[in-house]
């Protein structure tokens, strides 16, 4: 597996370049501002063909360079339907935009349990609402890796005070993640990596973050 992280934009948002080492079929997960050209250059250096553009959710800091990536790769855009409107009309989720963002039409909609293939890589979609209605995580069981978006960070969780956020759904989403193997590597939407085992509080998240 090729997995490289690029952080950018005003919120230091993580973008993930993911690819199968054998087939060199790849995907880009999330699209923060100013990262698009860098990640495409790196994909070209590695000989990776971008087959998918995947969104963990659609808050502005995760979609700012999506239109650029779509134009450059012509790869299909995948998003959960509950977050899809904000891809088409950025800002329609109620979050003020820091700058203009070009809308993009989604090509495919995620559903809970979907399996995505990139050569030898297999990813399972886990719907994790809470931070946003259509938030998802991508779980690679063979590689023991989770691309977690803004559901789970090192020692913390995504904000629950934004339009569309729902605390009770977040607790349920985190309970799902707590069931993953403890060695699972977690690549969050912001900040440093962690593991499921290091976040021992997951099943008791409401106690720590419920206010």
Q: How confident is the model over 121-179, as pLDDT tens digits?
A: 999 999 999 999 999 999 999 999 999 999 999 999 999 999 999 999 999 999 999 99
- pTM, full prediction: 0.97
C-alpha to C-alpha distance for 117 and 108, rounded to whole angstroms: 14
- φ/ψ of 167, rounded to 5, equals -60, -45
Share of the chain above pLDDT 70, in %: 100
Tell me which DSSP letter residue 95 carries: P
Taking Cα atoms as reference points, which of 204, 160, 202, 206 lies closest to residue 184?
202
pLDDT at 26: 98
User: Over the chain, what is the mean pLDDT?
Assistant: 97
Is pLDDT of 211 > 90? Answer: no
Region 102-130 average pLDDT: 97
Q: How confident is the model over 42-53, as pLDDT tens digits?
A: 999 999 999 999
CATH classification at residue 18 = 3.60.15.10
Number of domains in the chain: 1
Q: What is the CA radius of gyration of the chain?
A: 16
Taking Cα atoms as reference points, which of 137, 132, 119 lies closest to residue 167?
132
Structural domain range at position 91: 2-209
């Amino acid at each position: 597996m090729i997995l490289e992280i690029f952080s950018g934009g005003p919120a230091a948002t993580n973008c993930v370049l993911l690819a199968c080492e054998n087939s060199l079929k790849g995907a880009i997960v999330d699209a923060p501002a100013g990262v698009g050209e860098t990640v495409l250059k790196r994909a070209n250096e590695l000989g990776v063909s971008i087959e998918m553009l995947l969104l963990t959710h659609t808050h502005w800091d995760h979609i700012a360079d999506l239109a650029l990536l779509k134009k450059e790769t012509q790869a299909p855009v995948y998003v959960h339907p509950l977050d899809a409107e904000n891809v088409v009309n950025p800002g329609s989720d109620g979050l003020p935009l820091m700058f203009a963002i070009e809308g993009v039409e989604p090509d495919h909609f995620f559903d809970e349990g979907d399996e995505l293939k990139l050569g030898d890589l297999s990813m399972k979609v886990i719907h994790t609402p809470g931070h946003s209605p259509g938030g998802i995580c991508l779980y690679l069981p063979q590689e023991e890796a989770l691309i977690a978006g803004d559901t789970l960070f090192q020692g913390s969780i995504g904000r629950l005070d934004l339009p569309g956020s729902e605390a009770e759904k977040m607790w349920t989403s985190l309970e799902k993640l707590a069931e993953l193997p403890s060695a699972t590597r977690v690549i969050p939407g912001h900040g440093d990596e962690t593991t499921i085992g290091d976040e021992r509080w997951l099943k008791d998240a409401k106690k720590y973050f419920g206010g």
